[in-house]
Amino acid sequence: MTEEAENSEQGALSKIDTSVPQSARIWNYWLGGKDNYEVDRVAGDAFREIFPGIETGARAARYFLARAVRHLAAEEGIRQFLDVGTGLPNVDNTHQIAQRVAPECRIVYVDNDPLVLAHARALLTSTPEGVTNYVDADLREPETIVREAAKTLDFDQPVALMLMGILGHIEDHDEACSIVRQLVDALPSGSYFVQYDSTSTSKSYVKAIQQYNEGGSLPYILRSPEQIERYFDGLELLEPGVTSCSRWRPDAGAWGLPAEVHQYGGVALKR
């Protein structure tokens, strides 16, 4: 590691607040990762006591990401991915899935969490034929995201925009819809939008989120499936539309229809 990279990593680590739980770290804990702190594990356990299905939902959302990226790279010929709200590195990140299908894929990750920034080197691996880059920016800065991503991605060619589990952090739903529109408007025809968020379809989930939001962390707002569908306005949803993540094109060989989870998402084409 260069001295500049080491200084950047140390600077990011110094900004990490370990006094309050943080959603990306809690999610990492639920997925079996190691990039979390005691405060995150305590909050994650308290959440699970109220809503025991959270780990199943977290895994289903992760598998949805994998299936969506694999479909876009293998079946739709997408070679560029803009993954906003990346979260912490895990097994089979976007670039690994896409470049496994097509080594020449170009991926830009976007996040502004200090711990994610500190782990950015793990996300910046790439095949020799492709490119992986990282942008330090906030979801509320769509113009900055597009401008910085354009240094790596060609916005004259189709791009897959991914907003995975992060729009719930935008408390005002109209503002969340506006951010989506601004990002989608920057994409050329033939691009795709991939999105999921947690939903208010379980009373125990709603109760667990209320407790989490009272703990001083960045609030997360559960929304109805109908509200999630609004993010796809003006786009052409692929079958089966907006649905429980576990039921979006489950892998062949699965016996029967998978049980629903309270994370809903979809994939849509921009004509």
> 41: phi > 0 → left, psi -120 to 50 → alpha, else beta; which?
alpha
Query: CATH code at 215?
Result: 3.40.50.150
**Does 1 score more than 80 pLDDT?**
no
- What is the separation, in whole angstroms, between the first and last Cα of the chain? 43
Q: Is residue 223 part of a domain?
A: yes
User: pLDDT category, 35, cuts 50, 70, 90?
Assistant: confident
Which two tokens mark 147?
């401008």
Q: Each residue of 153-179: pLDDT tens digit? A: 999 999 999 999 999 999 999 999 999
Q: Is residue 15 part of a domain?
A: no
> CA 99 to CA 239: how far, in whole Å?
24
Q: Is residue 14 part of a domain?
A: no
Q: Is residue 1 part of a domain?
A: no
Which two tokens mark 112?
């502004």
Give residue 2's pLDDT.
46
User: pLDDT category, 13, cuts 50, 70, 90?
Assistant: low
Instruction: Please give the residue that has the higher pLDDT: either 36 or 121.
Output: 36
Indicate the average pLDDT of the chain.
Answer: 90
Q: Each residue of 240-269: pLDDT tens digit? A: 999 999 999 998 765 678 899 999 999 999
Mean predicted confidence (pLDDT) in 174-202: 98
Q: Is residue 6 part of a domain?
A: no
Domain count, the chain: 1
Q: Is residue 148 part of a domain?
A: yes
Q: Each residue of 124-133: pLDDT tens digit? A: 789 999 999 9
Give residue 20's pLDDT.
84
Q: Is residue 144 part of a domain?
A: yes
Chain-centroid distance of CA 235 in Å reads 19
Give residue 178's pLDDT.
98
Q: Is the whole-model pTM more than 0.75?
A: yes
9-23, 69-83, 195-209, 228-242: least confident range = 9-23
> CA 204 to CA 225: how far, in whole Å?
17
Mean predicted confidence (pLDDT) in 10-37: 78
**Does 232 score more than 60 pLDDT?**
yes
Which domain range does residue 198 map to?
A: 21-270
Q: Is residue 3 part of a domain?
A: no
Select from 64, 26, 85 the least CA-distant residue to 209. 26
